[in-house]
Amino acid sequence: MSERQAKPPLTLLLASPRGFCAGVDRAIQIVELTLEKFGPPVYVRHEIVHNRYVVEELERKGAVFVEELDEVPAGARVIFSAHGVPKSVPADAQSRDLFYLDATCPLVSKVHVEAERLHARGLEILLIGHAGHPEVIGTMGQLPEGAVKLIETDADAERLEPQDPEKLAFVTQTTLSVDDTSEIVATLRRRFPAIAGPHKEDICYATTNRQEAVKSIAPRADAMLVIGAPNSSNSMRLVEVAERAGCAYAALVQRASDIDWTALGDPASVGLTAGASAPDVLVDEVIDAFRERFDVTVEEVPVRRESVQFKLPRALAV
C-alpha cells in the first residue's frame, strides 16, 4: 500500500473570503513603504495588526514596535496601528516633533467621525464593543473623557440608565459578532425608540463576510480551525460563530504547530478560515500540515467576492 493510500481521506472546506482585509493590507503597506522611503528604524505604536507573524516580518525589515510614544526618540518616524488611537496620541506626537503616519483603517476612522457628529448634536454616545480593545480605546478617545459609555453585552443594554432617553446614540466596534451586536442594538431600540445610530452599519464588510463564510461551512464540518491571534477580536468572533452555527469543535490556532491533533480526532471534513489580520502563508502552512497526515481534498467555499481597496496616505502615494 502506498503512503498516500495509507492516509485517511479528508476534505478541507476553505472559507472564501478569509485572511487579510483592505484595512490590514493598507496598514502593512504603510509600514513597508515608510521603511523603503526613509529607511529603518521606523517606530510603530502597538502591533500594526494583531498577528505575531506579520509583526515579526516587519521587525525583520526594520520596524520597531513600542507601546507608547515616550519610547520613540524625538524627531523619529512613527506609525499608528490600524486599530486607531485617541486624539491625545497625534497631539503628543506633534508636541515631540515626531513625523507620524496614521494607519488607522478608514472604516474605523468612519466610526470616529460618526461619534463626533452624534456628540456634536448633543447626544449621549454609547459604544458597543469590548473593554480594553485598542479600537475601543481609540474611539472613546475621540471625545472628552466620560462622553462615551461602553456597552459590552445585552445585559448592559438592559440595565442602561441614560441621562436622557430622547438624546441617545450608538456606534459600534468594527470587529464584533454580527449576531451579538444585532441583539444588543435590538434591545437598545426597544428600550429607547428615539436612539440614533450610524448612517451605515459600523461592523466592517470584512468582519461580516468572514462570519458569513464560516456560517456556510460550519454545519458541513466536523471541526473548524480559525487562523488568527488570541488578541484579534475578529478572529475570536469567528470561533464563536462556528460553534453557534453547529460545528462540534472549533479552535483558534496561530500557526500549524498549535493544532491539537488529539482534540481534532478523526474528522472527515474540516473547515478552515483566517481572521482579517492573518496572511495567506499561514493558511498554506496549515494545509501542508493536514497533508502530512491526511489524503486531503481542498474545496473552496466562496460566499462573497471582495474588491475593496483603500488609498495610502499622501506622503506615501506612488
Assess whether 113 and 188 both reside in one domain: yes
Question: Does the residue 317 lie in any domain?
Answer: no
pTM: 0.92
Residue 2 has pLDDT above 60, yes or no: no
pLDDT of residue 201: 77
* pLDDT average, residue stretch 214-227: 97
Specify burial of residue 17 (Cβ count, 10 A radius: 0-12, 13-18, 19+).
buried
For residue 191, give its domain range.
107-203
In angstroms, how far is CA 263 from the centroid of its own chain? Answer: 26
pLDDT band at 27 (very low <50, low <70, confident <90, very high): very high
Question: Does the residue 12 lie in any domain?
Answer: yes
Question: Does the residue 310 lie in any domain?
Answer: no
pLDDT of residue 217: 96
Residue 1 has pLDDT above 70, yes or no: no
Q: Are 86 and 140 in contact (CB under 8 A)?
A: yes
Mean pLDDT, the chain, integer? 94
- Edge-first strand order for the sheet with 99-102 is 63-66, 42-45, 77-80, 99-102
Domain CATH for 76: 3.40.50.11270
Q: For residues 141, 142, 144 and 147, what is the CA-based torsion angle, rounded to 10 degrees?
A: -90
Q: Are 217 and 301 in contact (CB under 8 A)?
A: yes
Question: Does the residue 308 lie in any domain?
Answer: no
Residue 196 per-residue DSSP state: B
Helix (H/G/I), strand (E/B), else coil: 293: helix
Q: Single out the residue in 203, 238, 254 at which a domain terminates.
A: 203
> 148-206: per-residue pLDDT in tens?
999 999 999 999 999 999 999 999 999 999 999 999 999 999 999 999 998 777 889 99
Residue 276 has pLDDT above 90, yes or no: yes
Q: Are 59 and 114 in contact (CB under 8 A)?
A: no
CA-based Rg of the chain, rounded to a whole angstrom? 21
Assess whether 289 and 239 both reside in one domain: yes
The question of whether 212 is a catalytic residue gets the answer: no
Nearest CA to 135 among 159, 164, 160, 104?
A: 104
The catalytic residue among 114, 116, 135, 243 is 135
Q: In terms of DSSP bridges, do strands 124-128 and 148-151 run parallel, antiparallel, or are they unpaired?
A: parallel
Assess whether 177 and 261 both reside in one domain: no
> 258-269: per-residue pLDDT in tens?
999 999 999 999
pLDDT band at 48 (very low <50, low <70, confident <90, very high): very high
Phi-psi region of 287 (alpha: psi -120 to 50; beta: other; left: phi over 0): alpha
Q: Single out the residue in 105, 126, 141 at which a domain terminates.
A: 105
Element (H, E) at 252: strand 250-253
pLDDT of residue 318: 59
Q: Are 165 and 189 in contact (CB under 8 A)?
A: no
Question: Does the residue 316 lie in any domain?
Answer: no
Percentage of the chain with pLDDT > 90?
93
Residue 4 has pLDDT above 60, yes or no: no
Assess whether 11 and 46 both reside in one domain: no
Compute the distance between CA of residue 18 and CA of residue 129 in angstroms, rounded to an integer.
Answer: 22
Domain CATH for 191: 3.40.1010.20
> 86-143: per-residue pLDDT in tens?
999 999 999 999 999 999 999 999 999 999 999 999 999 999 999 999 999 999 999 9
* pLDDT average, residue stretch 11-15: 98
Assess whether 274 and 217 both reside in one domain: yes
Question: Does the residue 311 lie in any domain?
Answer: no
pLDDT of residue 91: 95
Assess whether 210 and 248 both reside in one domain: yes
Number of structural domains found in the chain = 3
Cell output for 96: 515631540
